[in-house]
Amino acid sequence: MLERFFPDHEAKSAYAIDYEALYREGYRGIIFDIDNTLVMHGAAADVRAVGLFRSLRGMGFGLLLLSNNKEPRVRSFADRVGAEYIFKAGKPAAKGYLRAMAALATTQADTLFVGDQLFTDIWGAKKAGIMTYLVEPIHPKEEIQIVLKRKLEKIVLYFYHKGSGRRKKGQKRH
C-alpha cells in the first residue's frame, strides 16, 4: 500500500543528480517542483537554479516547472530560469503531469520528475507513470501543513528503505 508513495530514486538535491547519464539513457524532459526542490520555499530563482537550467537546456532537455502555487510565483521563477510552467497544477492529480508531458512533447518513457514531497510531487508523478527523483528539502523552515506531512513521510521512507533494500540516508545516492 505504501509503495504508491515510494520514489524511484533519491538524491541529496536536484543539483546532485547525474543528468548527463539520464540523457544518455534516453530521457528528454524534466518536470521540476520549485519550492524546497530548487530553492528555499518562496525564494526567487538564484544563480544556481539559473545555471542548472542553462546546463540542462544545453544537454538537450525540455524543462517545465509544475507547481501548486499561483501564477505570479511560478511565472517569475520560470522567466528567470527559462522554462515552461504550469501553475495551480493540482498535484498529486496526474492531470498536471500529463499536461506537462504534452507541453514538452515527451512521453512517460522519456520524462522524469524531481521534487521534495512524497504525497504531492512523487505520488502524482507515479500516478502519471513517470520516473521520480525525491530530493531532500533545501531548508527545514516550511508551512505548518508541510511540516505535518513531513512526519508522515518519515514513516513511509522508513518502510521504503527497510523493505526494498534501498540505500539509507548517508549512503551514496544518485
Which residues form the domain of 149? 2-164
Position 173 in a domain: no
Residue 124 burial (C-beta neighbours within 10 Å; 0-12, 13-18, 19+): buried
Provide CB contacts within 8 A for 77, sequence distance 6+. Answer: 34, 38, 39, 44, 45, 49, 65, 85
Torsion of CA 124, 125, 128, 131, to 10 degrees: -160
Q: Where residue 173 falls among pLDDT bands split at 50, 70, 90?
A: very low
Position 169 in a domain: no
Q: How many domains does the chain have?
A: 1
DSSP string, 72-133: HHHHHHHHHHT-EEESS--TTSTHHHHHHHHHHT--GGGEEEEES-IIIIIHHHHHTT-EEE
**Which pLDDT does position 23 carry in this prediction?**
98
**Which pLDDT does position 30 carry in this prediction?**
98
Q: Where residue 24 falls among pLDDT bands split at 50, 70, 90?
A: very high
Candidate from 108-117, 125-134, 140-149, 151-160 with smallest mean pLDDT: 140-149
**What value does the mean pLDDT take over residues 118-146?**
85
Position 174 in a domain: no
Position 105 in a domain: yes
Tell me, what CATH number does 108's domain have?
A: 3.40.50.1000
